[in-house]
Structure 1
Amino acid sequence: MTTTADLALQKCLDAIATTFDSVFAEIEGWRAVIEQRIADAAGMLRAAELDALVENLVVAELAAPGALIIGAGAVAAPGFLDDAPWHLAWWLGHANTFGLGSADPSVRRLEAEEDPASDSFRDYTALEWWRVPAETGTRHITGPYVDYLCTDDYTLTLTMPVRFEHRLVGVVGADLYVNDVERALLPPVRSIGGSATLMNASRRVLVSTDPHRPTGSLLRDAGDSHVLPVGASSLLLVVG
């Protein structure tokens, strides 16, 4: 017999899954368009062409009032673009205050250092949001982590690989502020009653009703708690 507690738990799991599935659905749509454009160009794409395509895909989402996505775009595999060995086609949303100081935020292109000889250059292929999709060939949620490249704040980065003729040519993805995710998910998590914690596959806490499990901390031992998978994502809900 289904109890009220069972129903509350299922509603919570559904709410979490829907939140992340909707973002991944957006990213999947972008990936399909990018892969088709690359295929149409027989893999011979220039940086300016990728920039224009990505800008057209992501800007409307980033400009939408109340958008959960605060940064989005595509990042090319090193050497894929003939005229840009390293390249980020990434845009920041109006809710993203990265690098603005006291200026009003607006939708804008991320100015990233792409010269490996520069002291401020970062090899993005070593970062989790690139490395895991490249290794697994599937979608991935990175974080919570402090993203010094795009947000300077606690962030979740959702990414998927981009392929051409079975070869990895980049990743496509989106950034979310952890604070925004907490505001969206705390109500359904609290509705379960008692202690409940949402964590990623690395057991890092995203959202919790337990004050002893702060966001970003590692939950090494769930004790006697129930650990439940959340939809098709790699997220886990710890109850109890």
Structure 2
Amino acid sequence: MSTSPAVVGPPAASAATAGEERVAARVGHALEAVFESVAQTRADTAALLTRVAAEGRRPASADLAALRPGLHLRLRREALVSGVGFVAAPGLLGDVPAWLEWWQSTAEGDVRPLLLDLDPRQSAYSDYTHWDWFALPRDTGRRAVAGPYVDYLCSDEYSLTLSAPVEVAGRFAGVAAADVYLRHFEAAVLPLLRELPAPAHLVNARGRVAASADPAHLAGSLTRGPDFAAVLDRAGVRTVGARRLVPCRGVPLVLVVGEG
């Protein structure tokens, strides 16, 4: 009597990993639309600063007004973006020590500029250079996701900031960035995390939790463990103890799945 070989499906671990990679890819896709706004701002700013340099002069804050039509368009077009702009490196501009060409949406659907005291001689001076959204692109030359944090500079909202370095002639000139309210980001990604059978959360390169469907890891807290920046440098799933770490396909977030 002959028998047919049994059909064997993929191991449970392999099926789980494939599901995790699909969720990570969908998270990455959700944020790529925001990073596209950052990329457009970066390109516009680099082109503007290059034109000014070709005129043989230092840029001034008034030059950055040319960025406003594009910034306003991005605010109205991209639902996740609540604020967007260019943040100059200190000393870049000839007329002011620091500058944010930053615009944000209002509850009524309008756009308004962010006005800050950027005079270091004043007690209300807002030094932005220590914030991760500025420091990470400056120090690494890469895109970054910072937060969530209470955005005291812009909105007093719990927010994420996505940013990328702007360089002109190989020199750091500042960052292009966009804000996303945490509540809007969670609405987009929490349904994806809840599709997974194991507890899951998202962390940035610093290990800060950006969104979580795991009550043991709340948004804004820090996840102890490996060097998440190193995880982002490698392709594929990495297993650490009982957890699996899955880079989110091109954006600087890691999906962390499992207990621990």
Of 73, 84, 93, the residue aligned with 1:60 is 73
Residue type of the alignment partner of 2:58: M
Q: 1:7 to 1:223 in 2, by over 3 A?
A: closer
Identical counterparts, % of pairs: 37
Secondary structure of the structure 1 residue equivalent to 2:138: helix
Which residue of structure 1 aligns with residue 40 of structure 2? 29
Structure 1 position 9, deviation (Å) = 2.4
TM-score by length of 1: 0.88
What is the alpha-carbon distance in structure 2 between the residues aligned to residue 16 and residue 152 of structure 1? 25
Deviation at 1:164, TM superposition (A): 1.5
SS at match of 2:189: helix
Q: Which residue, 54, 59, 77 being the options, matches 1:45?
A: 59
Find the counterpart in structure 2 of residue 100 from structure 1.
none
TM-score by length of 2: 0.82
Give the 4+ runs in structure 1 shifted more than 3 A: 1-8
1:5 positional shift:
4.2
Distance change (3 Å), C-alpha of 1:144 and 1:223: farther
**Per-residue CA distance 1:169-208 (angstroms, 9 max, x = gap):** 1111101111110000011111122311111122211222
SS in 2 for 1:125: coil
Deviation (angstroms), 1:6: 4.8
Output the CA distance in 2 between the equivalents of 1:219 and 1:78.
Answer: 32
User: 1:212: Cα distance to partner?
Assistant: 2.3
Q: Select between 212-221 and 184-193 the one with higher mean Cα deviation.
A: 212-221
Asked if 1 retains the 8 angstrom alpha-carbon contact of 2:161 and 2:178, the reply is yes
Q: Does 1:87 align with 2:99?
A: yes
Alpha-carbon shift at residue 209 of structure 1 (Å): 1.5
Residue of structure 2 aligned with 1:20, choices 20, 31, 34 = 31
Do the aligned partners of 1:71 and 1:93 also contact (CA within 8 Å) in 2?
Answer: yes
Deviation at 1:158, TM superposition (A): 0.9
Q: Distance in 2 between matches of 1:63 and 1:33?
A: 17
Structure exhibiting the larger radius of gyration computed from Cα positions: 2
- Where does structure 2 lack aligned partners over 5 or more consecutive residues? 1-8, 226-239
1:126 is paired with a residue of what secondary structure?
Answer: coil
Shift of 1:106: 2.8
Q: CA deviation at 1:54?
A: 2.3
